[in-house]
């Protein structure tokens, strides 16, 4: 990716990140969104995260094969337990990395 | 300086994530200045990680920007909740405050506003102290990236582990578990049948809608059983 292209990407990403942060503060002080929309928006982040995560765990990097015995999925099991128990993002990330690293020596 | 001292868990928490981001971005071919500029302009952990994984997968500009938008839509809700406490603040200050709203600063600011012991000045300080930590650690990670061999310390897994952590923290009820399962399974099926980088957005909207309909159905059945 060329530098101008990259700058364009950042500008776009910056705008679409900033606007949802700003607009409700300015426009929505006091007012309420319709209930169904609040409920729907509330589910979107979980959906996005799962949609990103699951394929990374079970599909090979070339996208050709699917398996339940990939190191990514094996490492995910203890990582999920640690995440649920510790409730800390940084602990989860560090633990997950070390577990995956350790599993790498077994394969 | 209560704003700065209250920010310490966020400040510390951003350091390993920021370093990991910097290292991954460097390994994906970005220069440290490009990494710093992304952190300044975007300031959003999950969006930045996703952008890097899409960039290395050769995704188009438009698809990365649309995904960023979809990922950050949740800030609409956070910003709406915070607006209740900020109705006396003028727009210039609000526009500076909005920049620093992340999952973490939102959570800490909202809890303190609810306690009643919080001011706009403190909230703004907290946002910018957190922002500084993120920018600095991503750039440092970017410089360190050159010296860390590929795969060392399981750095390749940082992104997956972050997704797991973020997801696990949001499993606060049946509806989230249901949505996550819908989205995860659909995403795998789509990825195998017709890979494409708009899948994530499409699958997310489909599963959130699907989960809402299923929950509505369950509520209706329960209500009719009671009647």
Interface size, chain A vs chain B, as Cβ–Cβ contacts under 8 Å: 275
Those residues whose C-beta lies under 8 Å from the C-beta of residue B89, and which sit 6 or more positions away, are B97, B120
Chain A: give the shortest CA distance to residue B213, in Å.
10
- pLDDT of residue B151 exceeding 80: no
For position A91, what pLDDT does the model report? 87
Query: Using CA atoms, how far apart are residues A29 and A16, in angstroms rounded to an integer?
Result: 21
| Higher-confidence position of B195 and B137 | B137
Greatest mean pLDDT among A36-40, B22-26, B31-35: B31-35
Residue A30 has pLDDT above 70, yes or no: no
pTM assigned to the model? 0.69
A38 contacts in chain B (CB < 8 Å): 77
DSSP tag of B60: -
> Beta strands of chain A (E only): which ranges?
none
CB-CB neighbors (< 8 A) of B192 in chain A: 59, 63, 66
The angle formed by the CA atoms of residues B57, B60 and B64, to the nearest 5 degrees, is 85
Q: How high is the pLDDT of residue B11?
A: 82
CB contact under 8 A, B98 and A21: yes
Of B16, B101, B168, the CB nearest to A90: B16
Between A97 and B3, where is the model more confident?
A97
> ipTM beyond 0.85?
no
Residue A77 has φ and ψ, to the nearest 5°, of -60, -60
Residues of A in contact with B171 (CB under 8 A): 46, 84
Given a cut of 60, whether residue B37 has pLDDT beyond it is yes
Label residue B113 by pLDDT band (50, 70, 90).
confident
Tens of pLDDT, residue by residue over A47-101, are 878 988 899 899 987 778 899 999 999 999 999 999 999 988 778 888 998 999 9
What pLDDT is stored for residue B197 in this prediction?
58
Q: Which residues contact A100 (CB under 8 A, 6 or more apart)?
A: A71, A72, A75, B154, B156, B157, B160, B161
């Amino acid at each position: 990716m060329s530098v101008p292209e990259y700058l364009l990407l950042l500008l776009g990403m910056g705008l679409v990140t900033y606007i949802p942060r700003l607009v409700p503060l300015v426009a929505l002080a006091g007012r309420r969104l319709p209930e169904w929309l609040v409920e729907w928006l509330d589910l979107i982040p979980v959906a996005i995260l799962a949609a990103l995560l699951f394929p990374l765990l079970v599909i090979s990097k070339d996208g050709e094969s699917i398996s339940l015995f990939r190191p990514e999925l094996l490492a995910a099991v203890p990582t999920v337990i640690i995440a649920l128990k510790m409730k800390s993002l940084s602990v989860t990330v560090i633990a997950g990395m070390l577990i995956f690293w350790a599993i790498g020596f077994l394969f | 300086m209560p704003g700065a001292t209250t920010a310490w868990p966020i400040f510390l928490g951003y350091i390993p994530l920021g370093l990991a981001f910097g290292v991954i971005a460097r390994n994906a071919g970005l220069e440290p200045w490009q990494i710093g500029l992304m952190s300044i302009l975007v300031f959003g952990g999950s969006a930045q990680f996703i952008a890097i994984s899409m960039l290395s997968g050769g995704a188009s500009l438009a698809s990365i920007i649309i995904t960023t938008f979809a990922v950050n839509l949740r800030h609409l809700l956070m910003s709406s909740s915070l607006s209740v406490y900020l109705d006396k603040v003028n727009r210039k200050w609000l526009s500076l405050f909005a920049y620093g709203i992340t999952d973490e600063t939102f959570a800490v600011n909202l809890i303190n506003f609810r306690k009643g012991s919080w001011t706009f000045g403190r909230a703004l300080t907290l946002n910018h102290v957190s922002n500084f930590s993120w920018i600095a650690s991503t750039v440092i990670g970017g410089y360190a990236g050159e010296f860390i061999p590929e795969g060392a310390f399981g750095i390749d897994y940082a992104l997956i582990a972050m997704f797991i952590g973020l997801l696990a923290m949001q499993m606060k009820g049946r509806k989230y578990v249901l949505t996550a399962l819908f989205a995860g399974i659909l995403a795998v099926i789509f990825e195998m049948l017709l890979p494409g980088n708009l899948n994530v957005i499409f699958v997310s909207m489909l599963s959130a809608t699907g989960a809402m309909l299923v929950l509505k159905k369950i509520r209706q059945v329960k209500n009719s059983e009671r009647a």
